[in-house]
């Protein structure tokens, strides 16, 4: 009787033990799963894989590989265990070993799009871009269960500066992905960039950036890009609404350290004789004389150095006089120049600001006062 009770107790314990481990796996309770590390000799191949996967999710790839190997040695020999072992090896930059495991996984499941994509990612990380592109193209032909190869093919053509093809491929990637895919936002940002810089279709650029921001409203890096697209389209009202959101984020100290320190963001770009001028607007309202409202940097033709710096500064308000004046700061000469053009209130039309700066650059407006600083 005691023997029967003992056997029954062992059986019940074994079943409960197995169910508990699987429950932790199904509920993604990875910290509980790795507590089975010390009992690895008692685990089945499938259970060892689950513990390995938990270590993988907790970014301990050494232990993950150890448990994947134990799972394989206990007879678990399916594509997933080799795939995840290859993934951990890739994160450890052991690319040659990673390729071997991924190849095994692909032989077991040749139609698995995710496995083929991972092979391409390994080649890409190794710098074998031609091989990576070939593999990603192969992956695109497999049953559509994992859309990331579409992103990678587009990204490679983007890197190669084949912008026309890259843009077509990014739109293809967008159509192939759901919005919860980890690369969906990257695709939208790439489309926004290429529509802005390559096709000059600012409306499409703004649409892409708007969709990316809708997915991640706290990604304030995208807000200046969207404002520049709106302003390039002369949709100043929408650009101003985005700037208002950035002012709120500034007050809440949600912006990057650089923006918090400099207190301004880029809102516009325009071209002058092949040189780019970038307009920055201050997030802090001017209150005193010489406080800056706008700052405009003109880059040299190479685009790697500021050639001239213009400012819109608050001045001493006189009866019938302007509240803000167009100025220029020449650091090399240590001079501050004031031009005979200003604005009476806080509404400074961006197209007017561009026009006046261009008049100065063209030599059609001369400064009326100069001082050392």
pLDDT in tens, 41-72: 889 999 999 999 998 999 999 999 999 999 99
Give the number of other Cβ atoms within 10 Å of residue 114's Cβ. 18
Give the number of other Cβ atoms within 10 Å of residue 16's Cβ. 10
For position 62, what pLDDT does the model report?
93
For position 4, what pLDDT does the model report?
38
Across the chain, what does the average pLDDT equal? 92
For position 15, what pLDDT does the model report?
43
For position 115, what pLDDT does the model report?
97
For residue range 272-303, what is the model confidence (pLDDT) as tens digits?
Answer: 999 999 999 999 999 888 899 999 999 999 99
In this prediction, residue 19 has a pLDDT band, given cuts at 50, 70 and 90, of: low
Give the Cα separation of 204 and 221 in Å (integer): 18
User: Would the pLDDT of 9 be above 50?
Assistant: no
- Beta bridge partner(s), residue 297: 278, 309
DSSP label at residue 295: E
DSSP label at residue 135: H
pTM, full prediction: 0.87
For residue range 134-189, what is the model confidence (pLDDT) as tens digits?
Answer: 999 999 999 999 999 999 999 999 999 999 999 999 999 999 999 999 999 999 99
* DSSP strands (E only) in the chain: 264-272, 275-282, 292-299, 306-314, 324-330, 335-343, 369-372
User: Would the pLDDT of 11 be above 70?
Assistant: no
For residue range 103-136, what is the model confidence (pLDDT) as tens digits?
Answer: 999 999 999 999 999 999 999 999 999 999 999 9
For residue range 217-246, what is the model confidence (pLDDT) as tens digits?
Answer: 999 999 999 999 999 999 999 999 999 999
3-state secondary structure at position 152: helix
Tokens of 353: 């600001």
Residue with tokens 């405009």: 296
Give the Cα separation of 112 and 327 in Å (integer): 62
User: Would the pLDDT of 10 be above 70?
Assistant: no
For position 7, what pLDDT does the model report?
35
Nearest residue to 157 (alpha-carbon basis) of 188, 126, 129, 119: 129
For position 40, what pLDDT does the model report?
85
Residue with tokens 């799963």: 33
Report the residue count for the chain.
Answer: 373
3-state secondary structure at position 211: helix
Helix (H), strand (E) at residue 149 = helix 148-159
What secondary structure, in 3-state letters, does 90-116 show?
HHCCCHHHHHHHHHHHHHHCCCCHHHH
In this prediction, residue 320 has a pLDDT band, given cuts at 50, 70 and 90, of: confident
3-state secondary structure at position 36: helix
For position 342, what pLDDT does the model report?
92
Q: Mean pLDDT over residues 87-91, rounded?
A: 96
């Amino acid at each position: 009787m005691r023997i029967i009770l003992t056997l029954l107790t062992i059986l019940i314990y074994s079943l409960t033990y197995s169910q508990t481990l699987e429950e932790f796996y199904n509920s993604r309770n990875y910290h509980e799963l790795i507590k089975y590390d010390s009992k690895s000799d008692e685990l089945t191949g499938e259970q060892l894989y689950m513990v390995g996967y938990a270590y993988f999710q907790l970014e301990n790839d050494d232990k993950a590989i150890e448990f994947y190997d134990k799972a394989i040695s206990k007879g678990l020999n399916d594509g997933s265990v080799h795939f995840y072992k290859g993934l951990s090896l890739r994160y450890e930059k052991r690319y040659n070993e990673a390729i071997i495991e991924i190849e095994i996984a692909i032989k077991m499941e040749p139609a698995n799009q995710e496995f083929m994509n991972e092979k391409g990612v390994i080649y890409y990380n190794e710098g074998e871009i031609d091989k990576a592109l070939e593999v990603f193209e192969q992956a695109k032909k497999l049953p559509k269960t994992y859309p990331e190869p579409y992103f990678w093919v587009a990204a490679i053509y983007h890197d190669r500066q084949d912008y026309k093809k890259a843009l077509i491929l990014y739109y293809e990637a967008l159509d192939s992905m759901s919005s919860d895919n980890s690369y969906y936002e990257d695709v939208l940002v790439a489309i926004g960039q290429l529509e802005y810089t390559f096709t000059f279709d600012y409306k499409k650029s703004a649409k892409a950036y708007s969709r990316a921001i809708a997915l991640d409203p706290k990604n304030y890096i995208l807000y200046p890009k969207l404002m520049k697209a709106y302003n390039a389209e002369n949709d100043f009202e929408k650009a101003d609404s985005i700037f208002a959101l950035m002012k709120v984020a500034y007050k809440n100290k949600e912006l990057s350290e650089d923006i918090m320190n400099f207190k301004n963001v880029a809102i516009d770009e325009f071209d002058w004789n092949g040189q780019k001028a970038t307009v920055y607007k201050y997030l802090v309202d001017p209150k005193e004389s010489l406080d800056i409202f706008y700052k405009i940097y003109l880059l040299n033709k190479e685009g790697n150095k500021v050639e001239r710096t213009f400012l819109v500064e608050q001045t001493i308000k006189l009866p019938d006089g302007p509240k803000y004046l167009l100025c220029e700061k020449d650091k090399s000469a240590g001079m501050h120049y004031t031009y005979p053009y200003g604005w009476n209130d806080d509404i400074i039309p961006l197209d007017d600001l561009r026009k006046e700066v261009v008049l100065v650059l063209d030599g059609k407006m001369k400064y009326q006062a100069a001082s050392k600083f």
